[in-house]
Structure 1
Amino acid sequence: MLDYETLKLIWWLLIGVLLIGFAITDGMDMGVGVLLPFLGRTDDERRVIINAVGPHWDGNQVWLITAGGAIFAAWPAVYAAAFSGFYMAMLLVLFALFFRPVGFDYRSKIADPRWRNTWDWGLFVGGLVPALIFGVAFGNLLQGVPFHLDEFLRSHYQGSLLGALLPLLNPFALLAGVISLLMLALHGAMWLQVRADDPVAARARKIAVPLALAVAAAFALAGLWVAQGIDGFRVVTHPPFDAPSNPLAKTVAVERGAWLAIYQTVPVAVLAPIFGFAGILFAAGLSLLRRPGLGFVASALGMAGIIATAGLSMFPFVLPSSTDPGSSLTLWDAASSPLTLTVMFWAAVIFLPIVLSYTVWCYVRMWGKVTVAGVRASGPAAY
């Protein structure tokens, strides 16, 4: 039987894995959507791009739903406070995601070029907006979210509903959004090199290197900004880690450089940013060498390193509060009961390997290059 402290740490790791899994799988689809209007010069070429992700995009999006459900069950306080602070941003993401199922399913039903071009730009919006907003959300987490908890542990967001979006679009958060957008576009370009035939693959190869260099430069700039211009959070006193969750039982200090403390106390954590830089740059090199399969893996590792860097820098914080640091939520004091975490843990142990095995089987069964001749043979009403 796992103890409560261990369960809290395991679920912090598992939610991180779910978010990384979402970024690697559905992020690939979003990146392809962002590149769609630019790499596809004809209707057939755009159909090639869409068919490169068409069989899997809806299954990949389940990673986002699973991550949201896991946060709701494992960290209900985080779920409640985040949906208050990021309500308008989440609605914007949701409305943008509406374009994806309709765009994939209805784009080719009518042969009118204006109809198809409209849905191509809809798929672009459905990739661009979520990719940007998810990065903006991470950028705001590093700065703290304006909420506090009352004596009954009810969260109160400091801001109006209609005015909640603009404060989120601050310079550092926008930089984080640009990093997210660029790395997903790079990931999509690597996938198109694997799955699409020329000339789409050739154009994706051409754009991969500048995208990778831009991601690396923006990631380095964000690191310098966090070190020199962002106040981090540090737990000063805390009840035992296996105690019942009570966010108000701790004291928190806000100080410059606190987000970098883990790299001194746990030096192995520096592997995360190393993987971030190395994966992205190796992806560019492998693209030039025309080894897109390995380049796609390198891109995935780079994305995992960048996301892990943000998560490790914030450890143990999950949702810091900028207006009342003592109300900040950590993995130790925002967790559900031991019974809930235990039941969820065994459900994950049993079902996650099944889901992963089925996902791999689907990719194997539907593997192969997507060509212009192939999409023409499939008929005008297909993807």
Structure 2
Amino acid sequence: MLFDYDVLRLIWWALLGVLLVAFAVTDGFDMGVAALLPAVARNDGQRRQVINTVGPVWEGNQVWFILGGGAIFAAWPALYAVSFSGFYLAMFLILVALIIRPVAFKFRSKRDEPAWRGRWDAALCFSGVVPALIFGVAVGNVLQGVPFHFDSDLRPFYTGSFFGLLNPFALLCGLVSLAMLVLHGATWLQIKADGEPAERARRYGMIAAAVVIVLFAIGGFWVSAMDGYQVVGGLDPVGPSNPLRKEMTTEAGAWLANYGAQPLLWLVPLVGFAGAALAMLGLYARIGALSFLGSKLSVAAIITTVGVSMFPVILPSSSEPGHSLMVWDASSSHYTLGIMLIATVILLPIVLLYTAWVYKVLWGKVRESDVNKDMY
């Protein structure tokens, strides 16, 4: 293989982060627009206008979610097994929302009745709010640790409950996620819409930016006092994938250890704050490109902050800390990671080029006067 096992594990940890950020940056503004739909559009023409800002691109954006899930399944099978079983009901709600969205897009225009279209508009709003909130709740629980363990045959057992996921810190993270994607959707509408919907989105976006800054700061202080996870022995970066061979401990403020070891990492959360502030400035000045750039930076940096804070932990176990999943002991084999990397190097640039071409072709504002009955 071209790379050593530990290097491949690190590369795939980074690639997983890239896929999650790509999903949040692209499909995130779709969710934000859907969440804002009842607030920014007051009549059927405006609602069709708002929906058609994302109608041509949402399906392609959702591909990043599938790629992320596939990468977890193939590169981090233990993570896939624990997270998708432990968060089963939460994942089910997300899938329900994501399934409702295309149905709402397709069926909304089938009748002219206000009640019919109103129900599908509510479904679209649901499909934006629920995933944004639950993704954040999931991240909050991961930072606190998830109650799971393995038996001697490496079979995972989740010992928590669905309602146990709805704890105060996790709900705070859910609100950060929701506000972050509402801001992202508002900046998208600044670029793609005009008239009253764009103006209302501008006002709601500035509020969302302020909420992101405040709640992200509160979350940071909360994490600084929270028990984090540290390895105290037995971890081999090039050893076989077996999470039972190490020893771990918990310590208050341990999630900040990486920042102490590498002070440049503080730039990551700072970009999260700066991006939200830049988005607010762009919205205030009605500069769509500036606001959208700021929201993208904020989304990417906030997600990256979680990753660099936890590294090399991927999924900590609150019930058995020594069973926590790490970058160095939860991956697929050396050969599997190498073959997957070759396929990714070939295919990912094609996906990126095609996506860029689609956005170039579909660029331009969607105006209410342009919306007709043949559109969504």
Residue 253 of structure 1 aligns to a residue whose secondary structure is: strand
Deviations 1:57-101 (A, max 9, x none): 011001001000000000000000111210111011111222100
Aligned to 1:115: 116
Aligned to 1:314: 310
| Alpha-carbon distance in 2 for matches of 1:211, 1:217 | 10
Aligned to 1:24: 25
Aligned to 2:176: 179
| Alpha-carbon distance in 2 for matches of 1:205, 1:148 | 47
* Shift of residue 153, structure 1, vs aligned partner: 1.2
Superposition TM-score, scaled by structure 2 size:
0.98
| Aligned residue pair count | 375
| 2:185 is aligned with 1:192 | no
Moved more, 188-197 or 149-158: 149-158
Aligned to 1:67: 68
Aligned to 1:382: 375
- Letter of the structure 2 residue corresponding to residue 167 of structure 1: G
Instruction: Work out which of the residue numbers 237, 240, 250 in structure 1 matches 2:236.
Output: 240
Aligned to 1:302: 298
| Alpha-carbon distance in 2 for matches of 1:207, 1:49 | 15
| 2:340 is aligned with 1:324 | no
Aligned to 1:211: 208
- Letter of the structure 2 residue corresponding to residue 126 of structure 1: S
* Shift of residue 202, structure 1, vs aligned partner: 1.1
| Alpha-carbon distance in 2 for matches of 1:214, 1:77 | 35
* Shift of residue 298, structure 1, vs aligned partner: 1.2
* Shift of residue 207, structure 1, vs aligned partner: 1.6
Contact 2:136 2:175 in 1 (8 A): yes
Contact 2:235 2:328 in 1 (8 A): no
* Shift of residue 128, structure 1, vs aligned partner: 0.5
* Shift of residue 382, structure 1, vs aligned partner: 1.8
* Shift of residue 268, structure 1, vs aligned partner: 1.5
Moved more, 284-293 or 37-46: 284-293
Aligned to 1:221: 218
Moved more, 237-246 or 329-338: 237-246
| Alpha-carbon distance in 2 for matches of 1:287, 1:238 | 51
Structure 1 segment 127-138 matched on structure 2, within 5 A: 127-138=128-139
Deviations 1:264-308 (A, max 9, x none): 011121111011000011110011111111210111011111111
Kindly, what percent of the aligned residue pairs are identical? 55
Structure 2 gaps of 5+ residues are none
Residue 205 of structure 2 aligns to a residue whose secondary structure is: helix
| Alpha-carbon distance in 2 for matches of 1:360, 1:348 | 18
Deviations 1:318-365 (A, max 9, x none): 110000000000111000001110011111111111001000100111
| Alpha-carbon distance in 1 for matches of 2:184, 2:235 | 42
* Shift of residue 240, structure 1, vs aligned partner: 2.5
Deviations 1:217-237 (A, max 9, x none): 000000111112x21100111
Residue 108 of structure 1 aligns to a residue whose secondary structure is: helix
| Alpha-carbon distance in 1 for matches of 2:204, 2:91 | 30
Contact 1:110 1:381 in 2 (8 A): no
Residue 62 of structure 2 aligns to a residue whose secondary structure is: helix
Residue 207 of structure 1 aligns to a residue whose secondary structure is: helix
Residue 290 of structure 2 aligns to a residue whose secondary structure is: helix
* Shift of residue 106, structure 1, vs aligned partner: 1.0
Aligned to 1:40: 41
| 2:273 is aligned with 1:272 | no
Residue 157 of structure 2 aligns to a residue whose secondary structure is: strand
Residue 98 of structure 1 aligns to a residue whose secondary structure is: helix
* Shift of residue 173, structure 1, vs aligned partner: 0.1
Aligned to 1:370: 366
* RMSD across aligned positions (CA): 0.8
Aligned to 1:149: 150
* Shift of residue 21, structure 1, vs aligned partner: 0.4
- Letter of the structure 2 residue corresponding to residue 42 of structure 1: N
Greater than 6 Å deviation, 4+ residue runs: none
Contact 1:134 1:180 in 2 (8 A): yes
* Shift of residue 238, structure 1, vs aligned partner: 3.2
Contact 1:34 1:185 in 2 (8 A): yes
Aligned to 1:54: 55
Residue 104 of structure 1 aligns to a residue whose secondary structure is: helix
